[in-house]
Amino acid sequence: MSATIKQSELRNDNATIMRRVAAGERFTVTVNGAPIADLVPHQRETRRQRIPAAEIDAMLHDLPPIDVEAWHRDRAELDDLLDDVGVGPAQEDETR
């Protein structure tokens, strides 16, 4: 549950309020009685650095098989469509 504070209270007592937020408290900031912001403790993202191979294998297991021939056809079609557009490393170098 969060406490409600006026914007003026946040402005006048910001150091105290920030210490309280850092300690885990939450606040709803109001202006003229209307809530405009929530002050909550920062939540650090916890991302895994590594995923076990068995877990990746399990995720990929249910994917449909890749149709290599269709992929090559699609790629060739796209190359033909974009050939006249002039997008690519050579074009980028000319514009710099």
d(CA 91, CA 4): 56
> For the domain that residue 28 is a member of, what is the CATH number?
3.40.1620
pLDDT at 96: 47
pLDDT at 4: 96
pLDDT at 7: 96
92: in domain: no
d(CA 88, CA 85): 9
13: in domain: yes
* CA 43 vs CA 8, 39, 40, 46: distances in Å: 26, 12, 9, 9
The amino acid that residue 46 corresponds to is T
The amino acid that residue 90 corresponds to is A
d(CA 77, CA 83): 10
Dump pLDDT digits (tens) for 8-43. Answer: 999 999 999 999 999 999 999 999 999 999 999 998
* Containing structural domain, residue 79: 53-84
